[in-house]
Amino acid sequence: MRGFNTGRDELYADMEARAKDEGFSLALDDQGALTLYPLLEGKVVSDEEFEHLEPDLKKELKGRGDRLLEEMGEYLRRISREEKGLRDQEKSLDRETAAEVLDARLAPLFEEFGANEALAGYFTAVRGDILDNLDALAAGGRDGSSAPSPSGHGHGGHGGLPGSEAGPAEDIFYRYEINLFVDNSQTTGAPVIVEDHPTYFNLMGCIERESELGALYTDFTLIKAGSLHRACGGFLIVKVDDLVQNPTAWEGLLRALRSGQARVEDPTEGAEHARTRTIEPEPAQLDVKVILVGLDETYELLLYTDERFQKLFKLKAHLQDTMRRTPENTVILVSLLCRVIRDAGLLPFGRDALAALVDHASHLAEDQAKLTLKIPLLRELMIEAEALARMAGAACVERGHLARAVTARDFRADLFEEEYLAEYDREMLKVATSGVAVGRANGLSVRMIGDHAFGLPHQIACTVGVGHGGIMDLEREAELGGPIHTKGMMILKSYLLGRFAQDKPLVLTGSLCFEQSYAEVEGDSASGAELAALLSALAERPIRLCYAFTGAVSQSGAILAVGGVNEKIEGFFAVCRRRGLTGEQGVLLPADNVDNLMLPEEVVEAVARGQFHIFPVRRIEEAMEILTGIQAGTRGADGSFPSGSLYGLVDERLTRLARLALRPSRAADWPAPGLGRDVGR
């Protein structure tokens, strides 16, 4: 380059000397244009002086000048060719040097990602674009100009719209910015994405826009990924009930799963809207498993109303909210509770506190052999107990703090329960917890006020007499009994038929009801107590009202398991405690429900001290013997029950009622009852 400059300077000096010999002064401007000025007497002739010269002299000067310019023009063209060749050599050298640097930088990328054709193509395009714009890159974009983009479109300061001139001039280096669409570099294993708010944009991604001087513009760096993209190669978990509430998101998800592609687009860009100019990213190929979590009702609704649902979601699994209480599962639960402690920054929990939490998990599961998986419920209790421990200045949470937290929670929610108990105290609600009565029994029910469940005792009363009306269910007659309760009453009648109507018709009139019950009665858990009241009324033998009875009864007399046994026992215990525990009170429950017992410590302690009793029973005969203190008795070979047995008294009473209800001519043909008495002749 230095030799070229020296040669060019020498050539310019020769040209100036040649021009001077011809009587001209040579001027060369920055653009490489030559200008000749005539010389007269060693002085440059100005344009005005040139006009006043003799015509012949002007003609001569002009002719010599034209020949000189033509001669020197050839010199200039030669210089230009040499300079262009030199610059081409310089650019080629710069390109080779830059290519070596780029290849060294890109080699690791090609080695790591070269198998991906799209990335390899992008790296190649970046390399070529840099080499094509070395001059602009060297200038650093300080002049505000921008080179053409690799796609052939110019764009503004933030990329703008393809071909748009809006927006400020960009930094040329901005064209090489990277939009990290999804980053799973810190993820171990397959990504698992839980989408709590499944809107269209959160699922499918979006193209954001920025505003400048009232104009909206966008570029590739404003393309944002949705959870469907972030879950690629893994799993996406969505609550289906939240998803179907957003029809646009639901349709977008189905469309993506059906096509196998996730497009980032504006859902409002439709025929009914004016389309705006924007970018259109390439769709991402989907490799994701979508898991919808919801209720059975929602599953059935989608199954029968959207034919695409069954085609796209072919696997169905039911999830349990409990697990068996085994040592292995207990360890798993405790580890989950420890994670809650760590994540929430709680005080440490003592061994007794963790053991109490495990017991509470069984209480929530309503089964000694199971543990609840409703960790959020346990977490709330842990936070409340930890707050009590912190206020007490304790270093860790103990069992007592948990007990106080449970008590405080019940206190906040038991307003209606306390009002009911106050009505029992004032005997506005008539339920006896001592003494005896014929045709009366204490049944138990569960009331739900919000999320607070509590048990209440009820007086069940029965009357019987002569007639053909059968046993009336007053709850049903008043349209207060539900279908399951009505079925329980029918089973009760079937038991009487099977037990006492084998040698005579069952002819009587009777009624059963929940006294002081003004709400709908549903369920069959009181059918055992109803049958006990009926048998007591028929036998005319009293029931001990210090006992309450819960349990369904079968046609054969088996006592069947029911729900809510803990709440029912707690409810009767609360009434008895407020009136004073006598050591006689207790609850009869199905033996099959023993595993469901997870009672408060005060109830357990009262049972241990003999102040309260729990009687598991398997048959109605067992229950009646406890309630009445009389042996139920079994039918002998002669078809009669033992004399003085409860069922013997019932059978005798039914015979008398039947004889009184039917014509004497018919009654005379019947065999006498097993007790040997001829009644009603």
Task: From 159, 182, 199, 178, select the one nearest 233 (Cα to Cα).
Answer: 182
371 pLDDT more than 60:
yes
CB 150 within 8 A of CB 162: no
Strand-by-strand arrangement of the 509-514 sheet: 470-473, 509-514, 452-465, 440-449, 547-549, 586-590, 613-617
8-state DSSP, 434: S
User: If DSSP states are collapsed to H, E and C, what string results for 572-638?
Assistant: HHHHHHHHCCCCCCEEEEEHHHHHHCCCCHHHHHHHHCCCCEEEEECEHHHHHHHHHCCCCCCCCCC
- Long-range CB contacts for residues 631-636, cutoff 8 Å, separation at least 24: 636/674
Which pLDDT tens digit goes with each residue over 301-349? 999 998 899 899 989 998 889 999 999 999 999 999 999 999 999 999 9
Q: Give the architecture (CATH level 2) of 420-667.
A: 2-Layer Sandwich (3.30)
Q: Residue type for 427, please?
A: E
Looking at residue 81, its pLDDT comes to 77
**Environment class of residue 172 by beta-carbon count within 10 Å: exposed (0-12), middle (13-18) or buried (19+)?**
buried
Provide mean pLDDT across the span 537-549.
94
Longest Cα pair distance anywhere in the chain, in angstroms? 175
Which pLDDT tens digit goes with each residue over 121-176? 989 999 899 888 888 887 765 454 444 444 434 344 343 333 333 333 456 787 88
Looking at residue 29, its pLDDT comes to 67
Start and end residues for every CATH 1.10.8.60 domain found in the chain: 322-413
Looking at residue 271, its pLDDT comes to 46
Residue 677 banded pLDDT, cuts 50, 70, 90: very low
Q: Which bin fits 659, alpha (ψ -120 to 50), beta or left (φ > 0)?
A: alpha
Q: pTM of the full predicted structure?
A: 0.69
Provide mean pLDDT across the span 170-199.
86
8-state DSSP, 349: B
Provide mean pLDDT across the span 15-35.
70
Rg for the chain (alpha carbons), in Å? 49
Parallel, antiparallel, or unpaired: how do β-strands 547-549 and 509-514 relate?
Answer: unpaired
Question: What three-state secondary structure class fits 4?
Answer: helix
8-state DSSP, 521: B
Token digits of residue 254: 């189905």
45 pLDDT more than 80:
no
CB 286 within 8 A of CB 232: yes
Looking at residue 3, its pLDDT comes to 54
Residue 223 banded pLDDT, cuts 50, 70, 90: confident
CA distance 98 to 461: 101
681 pLDDT more than 50:
no
CA distances to 23, 37, 435, 549, 564 from 431, in Å? 140, 133, 11, 13, 20
502 pLDDT more than 90:
no
**Environment class of residue 344 by beta-carbon count within 10 Å: exposed (0-12), middle (13-18) or buried (19+)?**
exposed
CA distance 398 to 415: 28
Segment holding 452, helix H or strand E: strand 452-465
Instruction: Concatenate the DSSP letters of all residues of 375-417 into one string.
Output: HHHHHHHHHHHHHHHHHTT-SSB-HHHHHHHHHHHHHHH-HHH
Start and end residues for every CATH 3.40.50.300 domain found in the chain: 192-268+278-312
* The total number of residues written for the chain in this structure: 681
Residue 592 banded pLDDT, cuts 50, 70, 90: very high
Residue 357 banded pLDDT, cuts 50, 70, 90: very high
Start and end residues for every CATH 3.30.230.10 domain found in the chain: 420-667
Provide mean pLDDT across the span 598-603.
92
Of 58-62, 419-423, 530-534, the poorest mean pLDDT is in: 58-62
CA distance 491 to 477: 17
CA distances to 230, 272, 302 from 246, in Å? 20, 19, 14
Token digits of residue 496: 């009487």
Question: What three-state secondary structure class fits 285?
Answer: strand
Query: Average pLDDT of the chain?
Result: 84
CB 313 within 8 A of CB 293: no
Q: Give the architecture (CATH level 2) of 192-268+278-312.
A: 3-Layer(aba) Sandwich (3.40)
Percent of the chain scored above 90 by pLDDT? 44
Q: Which bin fits 514, alpha (ψ -120 to 50), beta or left (φ > 0)?
A: beta
CA distance 558 to 535: 15
548 pLDDT more than 90:
yes
CB 617 within 8 A of CB 547: no
**Which residues on adjacent β-strands are paired with residue 590?**
617
- The CATH class for the domain spanning 322-413 reads mainly alpha
Provide mean pLDDT across the span 453-468.
91
Q: At what angle do helices 2-21 and 55-113 cross, to 10 degrees?
A: 170
CA distance 570 to 576: 10
Token digits of residue 102: 């780029």
Task: From 2, 40, 4, select the one nearest 24 (Cα to Cα).
Answer: 40
Q: Residue type for 128, please?
A: G
Give residue for tokens 């000397």. Answer: 17
- Kindly compute the dihedral angle of the four CA atoms of residues 593, 598, 602, 604, in this order, to the nearest 10 degrees: 60
Q: Residue type for 170, please?
A: E
CA distance 544 to 259: 72
Q: How many CB atoms lie within 10 A of CB 449?
A: 12
Question: What three-state secondary structure class fits 647?
Answer: helix
Provide mean pLDDT across the span 284-307.
91
